[in-house]
Amino acid sequence: MTAAAYTPGARVDHYEIIRKLGHGGMSHVYLAKDTARDTRTQQRVVLKFPNEDLIGNIAVFERYKREAEIGSRLHHPSIQRLLNANEASSDNYLVFEYIRGRTLREALEDRAPEPFPPAEAVRITLLLCDALAYCHENGVFHRDMKPENVMLLDDGNIKIIDFGIALLEGARRVTWRGLSGTMGTPDYMSPEQLRGERGAASSDIYAVGIMLYEMLCGHTPFEGENVFAIMNQHVSQDPPSILDYSPDLNPALATVVMRAIRRDPEKRYKQMRDMLHDLRNLEEVQPVPYEPDKPGPSKTRQEIVLALLITIALCLLIIAIGFLVQFLHHASP
């Protein structure tokens, strides 16, 4: 039976399928129960299978193995736990703890268009920063932080999920179906990722800053008619000041937010721990007037200029070849 065809009651080793939770471009995900445990306390788990049509793709298999290695490396209360690190299995799949709660995206939509109270937004972000600082210190960079990948638990804690495109420090670059390892979600992707760079700590800082911005004013800093318009804004300009939308926000908090989401990574926090420190100690943060950098040329304009330069160069080359042919013709006896 293929991963896409598992139905309630089907068995995969000692796991019994309860229902399908969803699927994406790279995997199918199921809720299941672990029947190897005492029948009265059978643990609910999440089974994640690579898509069947991608299993033959060596890059997909490398990502699968990398996600397993990352899961084995990370042990933090705010990160979803991998449960089958050293377990023999009859198929390729990962087993994660089942998390009861809702995503940050669902919480944002429930409140829309109203923002989160600042204290709650900061509390959630502190937990995110602490978990991601731990990841970075263990050589793991998530690279796809977004509200859909943050679970809010009933006890007030959070869980970061889906390390499917995470970068493992020292690991070779993996490409997938013509796409580089920069894959992510444009609303939260850093400019350097959108330019084709791998992204690391600074990209996670940028994404967390965008989520904090969204929680504090009810929307992301860049909005457009389509994904390409949004991507172009991320790459070509600094975000508008959060104080434009939330003028009563604590200026120190506004300073932290805007420092996290500068277009130039050199102007952002260097480490997640630095952002965490400032959020914990806002009374020590000196508010700084936000001065966005001058917008750079859009990607479209850059492409036009590049095409123009290539055209001019080709024309000059053709002219030069013409002169050379004439010179050789006249020089021959």
Active-site residue list:
144
Distance CA 105, CA 191 (A): 22
Distance CA 211, CA 124 (A): 10
CA angle 263, 266, 272 (to 5 degrees): 95
Side chain identity, residue 27: S
Q: What are phi and psi of 216, to 5 degrees?
A: -85, -25
DSSP assignment, residue 263? S
Query: Coil, helix or strand for 226?
Result: coil
Quick check: 147 and 103 in contact, CB under 8 A?
Answer: yes
CA distance between the termini of the chain:
79
Query: How remote is the C-alpha of 129 from its chain's centroid?
Result: 14
Q: DSSP 3-state assignment of 44?
A: strand
Q: Which of 258, 151, 150, 141 is nearest to 203 (CA)?
A: 141
CA nearest neighbour of 250 among 283, 207, 210: 283
Closest CA to 3 of 113, 93, 103, 128: 93
